[in-house]
Amino acid sequence: MVSARNEEREFMERAFELAEEALASNEVPVGCVFTYEGREVACGRNEVNRTKDPTTHAEMVALRNLQAENPDIGEVILYNHFFRYHGEHKAVKEILRDLVLYVTLEPCIMCASGLYELANERFGGICSVGNWSKYNKEKAEVEVVVDSTYADRSIALLKSFYDKQNPFAPEEKRKSKKSKQ
């Protein structure tokens, strides 16, 4: 039997594998994996530059993949770039509530809102970009699971991306690097 800690490590490694794929494809290096009852049910990585679609963050790609690969979750629809549950299919609602998310970086506000709509009390990230409590709904109770051993790795991936600059950014938006003397 796989321990919870080893399972967590396995899925975080999978998320980092996806983030590294994103980096190799000139995307912001973020990867994410959804699990249900200890098995991967969907994954995603940033695809914004490839798709020219600003909503294709890792979490949103994973949510779309979850919907595409699990027809029983057909009642979960994309609405205004966020997933919202419509209908009273209890089994589907329970599956969504029990998903576990492994992600290499704290979800942005768009993705956090999409995740919140799943009615799932567990999600995690590196608490650095936004403050969930500022943006949550009144009754939100979110369990933030942070393992600091992954923080340095995530930061290093982001630095790698931004050091080489985004080749898809308009020239006038790119920061010019001053040579060190």
C-beta of residue 144 within 8 angstroms of C-beta of residue 16: no
- How would you classify the pairing of strands 31-36 and 100-103? antiparallel
Closest by alpha carbon to 99, among 176, 32, 160, 31? 32
Q: Nearest Cα to 56, choosing from 36, 30, 23?
A: 30
CA distance readout (Å), 17 to 42, 69, 110: 14, 21, 23
Q: How far is Cα 146 from Cα 89, in angstroms, rounded to an integer? A: 32
59 catalytic, yes or no? yes
Among candidate residues 13, 59, 75, 141, the one labeled active-site is 59
Q: Which residues are catalytic?
A: 59
